[in-house]
Amino acid sequence: MTKRDMSHSGKTSSRAADERVLILDFGSQYAQLIARRVREQHVYCEIVRHDITAEQVRRHHPAGLILSGGPSSVYDANAPRCDAEMFRLGIPVLGICYGMQLACEILGGKVESAPAREYGRAHCTITDTTDLFAGIPGEMDVWMSHGDQVARVHDDFVPLARTRTCPITAVRHRRMPVYCIQFHPEVTHTPLGGTILHNFLTLICGCAGKWRLGEFAQETIGLLRERVGAGRVICGLSGGVDSSVTAALLYQALGSRLSCILVDNGLLRKDEEASVISEFSNHFQTDLHVVKAEQRFLDALRGIRDPQEKRKRIGHAFIDCFKEEAAKIGDAKFLAQGTLYPDVIESGAAPDGPAATIKLHHNVGGLPDELGFELIEPLRDLFKDEVRRLGSELGLPDDLVWRHPFPGPGLAVRCLGEVTHERLAVLREADAICVAEIKAAGLYRQTSQAFAVLLPVQSVGVMGDARTYEDAVAIRCVNTDDFMTADWTRLPYEVLAQISTRIINEVKGVNRVCYDISSKPPATIEWE
């Protein structure tokens, strides 16, 4: 879990402090997966900057430290490093990939460019099946991703494993609780990686696995009550899981002191507005404000084709609408939004680790300081699967909890090219058919996200005896655990055929349907 930014949540959580693990982020694409795997062992964890000091680590009282992988070479002048004093605190350390190379180099070893790089699956021989590799057979498959490797370790290190091209695949220190592995135990391609992490957390760090999402909910509710006091919070609803769970959590904490605003920007899915009104007027009985603003957003998007410019304009239009409606509420000091940890990473906003900016707009989306509210993001430590489980614990219905994610800018980033009322109508109907057929096939819960994309492409077709020149629709369906990586879903041909037939027959102006078979990375889940 990411270390909480004081400006967002008011204080750092103390939950399960006796079993806290810190993950030092050196820029690995897998750092967030490490956090998820640790939490799967019911151990609380935080992702922190790689340059956290030993004294700061000591104040956290962690049970263990994990050094993530990263894209750098430890011998480069500007390579990220950690405080060497951390290894002398007596706190168990697990170095993974770059983390192994850095730990071994700091403690007297040497790292060099490998004579044979390893990317992908590798066969590993375990030479010591105690502690870290307890219960692991002598041979196992692992996932490698490195061009450098440890060429030599100090005499204080004991070898634990090797591969054909990496003779020092895993080591432990003789005197200090420092363990290092070159492969990635956090990815599913290392089948026994969960056992290795379990061994580190339980046998080496002494964790009992006591952290639960229920604790997160109760402590977060307490923190919200303490921070908000007698004040009022405004929550922006989008109809998606994230904002809905945020609102439900706030409702549990504040009751009638929660006001929700739904901006109908004309970019919502079919029947989205009615669903939100029903849930948050009837089930939660919140103070719900609905702003009709379709034309304002369409005016802002007129002639705009660039994806990032779309996001910016939608964000500005949203702020204007939100300001006007919030002014009518009057006594609110706080604004809540359903930011998740992948949002923080992809928008480049994480204060505790390096990240490239992939997206500019999430949910409420990049609200500037001049909006005049204190920002509350109670879910910013969580991944999507954890948010779903939390929603169930808070009493949200399954059809809302398991609803597929929807981007903050709505259908605008699924309507490639110019966004118009007419093109949105085509996309909305095609999207509804896609989702309906996947539900009818009983596959909705088995897929992570499914939707239609309207392409800025027309193609020749034949309907009856007439030649057509109409729009093309792409169907995107992916499977993922954390939305940081994803693979395209192998939908049955008969389901794809039914989706295609219905869209072409029922959606006027479409004569071609394609299926997207790209993974993330290198593609993103959304097309824009």
Residues classed as catalytic? 97, 184, 186
> Phi-psi category of 108—alpha, beta or left, where left has phi over 0 and alpha has psi -120 to 50?
left
Place of tokens 């769970």: 245
HEC-encoded secondary structure of 122-161: EEEEECCCCHHHCCCCCEEEEEEEEEEEEEECCCCEEEEE
The CA angle 318-323-329, to the nearest 5 degrees, is 130
Q: Which residues contact 77 (CB under 8 A, 6 or more apart)?
A: none
Pairing type for strands 332-336 and 232-237 reads: parallel
CB 32 within 8 A of CB 484: yes
CA distance 230 to 223: 13
CA distance 409 to 423: 16
**In 3-state terms, what secondary structure has residue 118?**
strand
Per 3-state DSSP, what percentage of the chain is helix, strand, and coil (rounded to 5)?
35, 25, 40
CA distance 240 to 73: 41
Q: What is the dihedral of CA 6, 247, 41, 96, to 10 degrees?
A: -50
Per DSSP (E only), the strands in 200-343 are 232-237, 258-264, 287-292, 332-336
Q: Which H or E run contains 178? A: strand 178-181
Pairing type for strands 466-479 and 449-463 reads: antiparallel
Within 10 angstroms of residue 215's Cβ, the number of other Cβ atoms is 15
Within 10 angstroms of residue 121's Cβ, the number of other Cβ atoms is 13
CA distance 109 to 126: 21
Per DSSP (E only), the strands in 34-138 are 45-49, 64-67, 93-96, 110-126
CA atoms within 13 A on the CB side of 137: 7
Within 10 angstroms of residue 117's Cβ, the number of other Cβ atoms is 14
**Nearest by Cα to 291 from 252, 311, 318, 253:** 318
**Nearest by Cα to 288 from 218, 230, 239:** 239
CB 411 within 8 A of CB 267: yes
CB 191 within 8 A of CB 122: no
**Nearest by Cα to 187 from 392, 368, 28, 299:** 28
